[in-house]
Amino acid sequence: MNPRLERARAQRQGRPKNWAARMVSYLGDGVLLERVWLRWYYFLRRRRQVWWERGREVGRPPFVHSIQPGLRMNLHFENELCESIFVKGFETKERLFHNAFLRPGDQYVDIGANIGFFTLVAAQRVGPAGRVFAVEPVSETFRQLLANIELNGLTNITTCQIALSDTQGQAEIFSTLDGYLGLNSMAEPVGKNYTTEQVRVETFDHFVRTQAIDQRLVMVKMDVEGWESRVLAGGRDVFSTPTAPVLQVEFSSRTSNFVGLSSSDLYRLLADLGYRIFDYDVERNHLVPTTPAYVNVPYINLFAIKDPDFVETRLIGKSNV
């Protein structure tokens, strides 16, 4: 949830019902602009939703959309993730964390890069002196990832059409046929409307060695739809060190069940590797400690961190884009 929306909703509680009295109240505590912004946000979102649904109905071709200054993406009407980017402001909190934390010269790994939203953001932040490694196994999704990288003319990205797990070799991956490309997974999903393909599989430890990734690796984004425990097991040499990279991890009660785990189980796995789990407060630009109970929700992205002081220092040193 957008923090500004949460704050505006909280401020509505206890307001007088009389219109003039409400205006006086809004002016008195300085939230009139927040109210105006909120109304505009909902208006724009409704307009975009209607336009998107119409485009999907009539089969409009993909179009180019700006996700932040200097970055664009090809958005496809049949892709639910693209709809979320255009209509709902997809994962704004996480994008702003990337912009605040990453620095020129950093290395970054995007596990489950999908069509490249965070790959592009990270590549822009680390610059020509840095490197982004985008890992995406599904053929059609990988094709769209390459197109988005080409659209932005970025040359500091290494793309890898593989899956990461706790083994080496070949494996089967499940791909949705309903447009929900963000749900593609190595774990067999609930439901039957999907297809499969064979993909090459590596462990994260092997991947780091073969790609010559070094101590400049500061962050890994992990969005693998229930396969997180396998990726962590395959990267134990890297993730168990005191200088292990910051992890952005998706906690989802639905996808964790695909492999017989819970979000709390994933939380404990990360803790066993020496990580502490934080949320990110966008408005205050700082980390918020969490507990295992914090992840008992349908879906949330959190940050697993070994050295919070290092991260906080970076956050303070650079404002968000």
> Tokens 């966008």 sit at which residue?
282
pLDDT over threshold 90, residue 153: yes
pLDDT at 319: 46
pLDDT at 52: 96
Across 277-289, average pLDDT: 95
pLDDT over threshold 80, residue 260: no
> Tokens 């134990």 sit at which residue?
236
Across 34-46, average pLDDT: 80
What is the rounded CA–CA span in Å between residue 127 and residue 131? Answer: 8
Any idea where the domains of the chain sit in the sequence? 3-45+47-55, 61-317
Kindly state the DSSP code that residue 62 receives in the 8-state scheme: P
User: 67: pLDDT confidence band, cut at 50, 70 and 90?
Assistant: very high
pLDDT at 173: 82
pLDDT at 320: 46
Residue with more model confidence, 180 or 204: 204
What is the rounded CA–CA span in Å between residue 84 and residue 247? Answer: 23
What is the rounded CA–CA span in Å between residue 227 and residue 111? Answer: 11
pTM of the model: 0.86
Q: Measure CA 157 to chain center.
A: 17
What is the rounded CA–CA span in Å between residue 221 and residue 238? Answer: 14
What is the rounded CA–CA span in Å between residue 109 and residue 215? Answer: 13
pLDDT at 189: 63
pLDDT over threshold 80, residue 180: no
pLDDT, tens only, 168-177: 999 888 777 6
Amino acid at 246: V
Q: Measure CA 230 to chain center.
A: 19
Class level of CATH domain 61-317: alpha beta
pLDDT over threshold 60, residue 220: yes
* Alpha-carbon separation of residue 276 from 215, 287, 291, 310 (angstroms): 20, 11, 9, 13
User: 236: pLDDT confidence band, cut at 50, 70 and 90?
Assistant: very high
pLDDT over threshold 50, residue 270: yes
User: 261: pLDDT confidence band, cut at 50, 70 and 90?
Assistant: confident
pLDDT, tens only, 77-92: 999 999 999 999 999 9
Residue with more model confidence, 165 or 27: 165
pLDDT over threshold 80, residue 186: no
pLDDT over threshold 90, residue 5: no
Amino acid at 161: Q
pLDDT over threshold 80, residue 316: yes
pLDDT over threshold 70, residue 96: yes
Least reliable range by pLDDT among 114-123, 200-209, 225-234, 259-268: 259-268
